[in-house]
Amino acid sequence: MGRQLAVDGVCLGVPAGECFGLLGVNGAGKTTTFQMLTGDIRPTSGDACLNGYRSGRGLWSKLGRATVVRPG
């Protein structure tokens, strides 16, 4: 199976204390977006940031308090 573009040009802001989710059809890139933000996978280009910190290992210790509900 070849590579497929899953997430392109996403930019969003969530005010402190707010809860949010992503809605979309199957294959739209919702899970992939969260996987990039949590550091489970790396973006092939660009940056994935939470509160100004690049996603990846050690991100959650920098953020302090955050809750992510992972699919599956």
What is the per-residue pLDDT for 64? 60
Residue-range definition of the domain harbouring residue 53: 30-63
Q: Is residue 69 part of a domain?
A: no
> 13 in a domain, yes or no?
no
Q: Which residue has the higher pLDDT, 57 or 51?
A: 51
Distances (CA, A) of 66 to 33, 43, 44, 61: 16, 21, 25, 10
70: in domain: no
**Mean pLDDT of the chain, nearest integer:** 76
Q: What percent of the chain has pLDDT over 70?
A: 74
Q: How far apart are alpha carbons 49 and 45 in whole angstroms?
A: 13
Domain assignment present for 71: no
Does the residue 20 lie in any domain? no
pTM here? Answer: 0.65
Between CA 38 and CA 55 the distance in angstroms is 6
Summarised one tens digit per residue, pLDDT across range 8-29 is 888 888 887 888 888 999 988 8
